[in-house]
């Protein structure tokens, strides 16, 4: 098989959660364990950092990887989902896994996969771990896919675990309260391994403290140790985010200017710096200049996309992958603080989400362009339009994302704002 044929096989034969939803979710780790055993447990051959959370885990993963790269380490990075190319999920120092490696991995293990019928994610975890081991990475930054306790990535024993925050998402699989979801995320906390909590929230804080005590894991609440002060934020065609970072009462970094511009990145940066401090205590050679360079060059170093990303100006067109109630709340806050004459919202969602509480957050004074991403899991645009109308949101439905964005671009004035989002897959189609 060539690369395109290999991808077709993977998408066709392996259940993929981000395309088909809960049908692809496996509530155990048996397949992952079997795959890694067949591959001779490559996850034991490199150091790692493990990151879970409802929102922010992707950004924190990329920040940590970028800082480690700036420090001279060979860094593996495993994240999900991808936006345009499957290989975005598996990178070393910002370079995607070669197509040839993806092809050979499937060819070498195809018979075994036919036997155990793994999910797309389980297979991808095995591929990433084998690739990182073969390439002798110094450290791999591993983002969980869904939850934590039963996530396929939870087979690793990291240097530090990170849980960014807790919000209601995937409630049909992880539980319908923040406490239940926190218990699933807390599953990545391991015996004696330090854990960083990005946001101090109730009741999840108590869940994390209890779990850390149970397994004798040192626990660090990033917000209690580091603060961002003198934050200056302006949104226009050249968005600026500048801040000072304090450790306790002492200045740690002055005039930090992150390459990721969303205001919500302030929390992610604090979380990242706390995790990096723990790595330095574990003899990773990371300087303050490396931290600054990693945060200020994260897109350059890792090719991260889709976080409050400007697609064009005049009219200002911005996309963001926020897709659950916590992520959307941050996005709406950014929109409210962006100057514009008129607001145009190109939005779509997945059909397995409870979108009523999400739609309640959206501004009513806006023109909406409802659309469906080109995946089976996408919510029908006409159905979305009807659901949105109940919340006072008005607009038209479109057959494709590109049709919706094209219509918004034609109708928008030069001083208007066009926002594109609601789903990772909507953003993927416009980047």
Confidence of residue 258 (pLDDT cuts 50, 70, 90): very high
Task: Pick from 1-15, 64-78, 310-324 the range whose average pLDDT is largest.
Answer: 64-78
Q: pLDDT at residue 68 above 50?
A: yes
Are 272 and 61 spatial neighbours (Cβ–Cβ below 8 Å)?
no
Cis peptide before 81 (omega within 30 of 0): yes
Are 385 and 395 spatial neighbours (Cβ–Cβ below 8 Å)?
yes
Per-residue pLDDT tens digits for 240-255: 889 999 999 999 999 9
Confidence of residue 327 (pLDDT cuts 50, 70, 90): confident
Question: Can you give the residue ranges of every domain in the chain?
Answer: 3-302, 309-430
Average pLDDT, the chain: 91
State mean pLDDT over 227-237. 80
Q: What CATH number was assigned to the domain covering residues 3-302? A: 3.40.1190.10
% helix, strand, coil for the chain, step of 5: 45, 20, 35
Note the pLDDT of residue 14.
63
Tokens coding 74: 């060979």
Tokens coding 275: 């995790």
Tokens coding 218: 């040192």
The pTM for the full model equals 0.92
Note the pLDDT of residue 337.
85
- For the ranges 213-217, 324-328, 394-398, the lowest mean pLDDT is seen at 324-328
99's CB contacts (< 8 A; 6+ apart) are: 3, 87
**Lateral strand order in the sheet of 367-370:** 309-312, 316-320, 417-421, 343-347, 367-370, 395-397
309-430 CATH pick, 3.40.50.720, 3.40.980.10, 3.30.420.40, 3.90.190.20: 3.90.190.20
Note the pLDDT of residue 18.
46
The end-to-end CA distance of the chain, in Å, is 28
Comparison of pLDDT for 175 and 403, the residue scoring more: 403
Per-residue pLDDT tens digits for 405-430: 999 999 999 999 999 999 999 999 99
233's CB contacts (< 8 A; 6+ apart) are: 240, 241, 242, 263, 337
Note the pLDDT of residue 254.
96
């Amino acid at each position: 098989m060539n690369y395109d044929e290999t991808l077709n096989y993977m998408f066709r034969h392996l259940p993929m959660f981000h395309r088909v939803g809960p049908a692809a979710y496996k509530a155990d780790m048996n397949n992952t364990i079997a795959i890694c055993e067949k591959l001779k447990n490559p996850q034991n051959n490199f150091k790692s950092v493990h990151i879970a959370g409802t929102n922010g885990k992707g950004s924190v993963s990329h920040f940590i990887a970028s800082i480690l790269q700036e420090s001279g380490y060979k860094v593996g990075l495993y994240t999900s989902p991808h936006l345009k190319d499957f290989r975005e999920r598996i990178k070393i120092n910002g370079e995607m896994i070669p197509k040839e490696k993806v092809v050979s991995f499937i060819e070498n293990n195809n018979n075994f996969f036919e036997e155990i019928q793994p999910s797309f994610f389980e297979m991808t975890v095995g591929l990433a771990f084998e690739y990182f081991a073969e390439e002798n990475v110094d450290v791999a930054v591993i983002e969980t896919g869904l939850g934590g306790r039963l996530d396929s990535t939870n087979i690793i024993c990291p240097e530090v675990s990170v849980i960014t925050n807790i919000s209601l998402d995937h409630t049909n699989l992880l539980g319908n309260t923040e406490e239940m979801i926190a218990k699933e995320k807390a599953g990545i906390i391991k015996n004696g391994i330090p854990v960083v909590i990005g946001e101090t929230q109730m009741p999840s804080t108590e869940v994390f403290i209890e779990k850390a005590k149970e397994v004798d894991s040192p626990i660090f609440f990033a917000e209690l140790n580091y603060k961002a002060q003198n934050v200056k934020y302006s949104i226009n065609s050249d968005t600026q985010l500048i801040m000072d970072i304090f450790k306790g009462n002492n200045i740690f970094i002055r005039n930090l200017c992150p390459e990721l511009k969303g205001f919500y990145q302030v929390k992610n940066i604090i979380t990242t710096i706390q995790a990096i401090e723990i790595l330095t205590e574990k003899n990773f050679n990371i300087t303050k200049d490396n931290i600054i360079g990693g945060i200020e060059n994260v897109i350059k170093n890792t090719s991260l996309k889709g976080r409050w990303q400007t697609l064009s100006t005049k009219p200002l067109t911005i996309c963001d992958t926020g897709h659950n109630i916590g992520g959307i709340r941050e996005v709406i806050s950014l929109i409210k603080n962006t100057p514009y004459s008129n607001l145009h919202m190109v939005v779509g969602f997945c059909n397995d989400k409870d979108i009523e509480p999400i739609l309640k957050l959206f501004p009513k004074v806006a023109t909406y362009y409802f659309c469906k991403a080109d995946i089976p899991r996408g919510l029908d645009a006409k159905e979305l339009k009807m659901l949105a109308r109940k919340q006072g949101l008005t607009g038209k439905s479109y057959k494709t994302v590109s049709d919706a964005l094209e219509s918004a671009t034609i109708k928008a004035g030069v001083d208007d704002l066009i926002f594109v989002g609601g789903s990772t897959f909507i953003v993927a189609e416009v980047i």
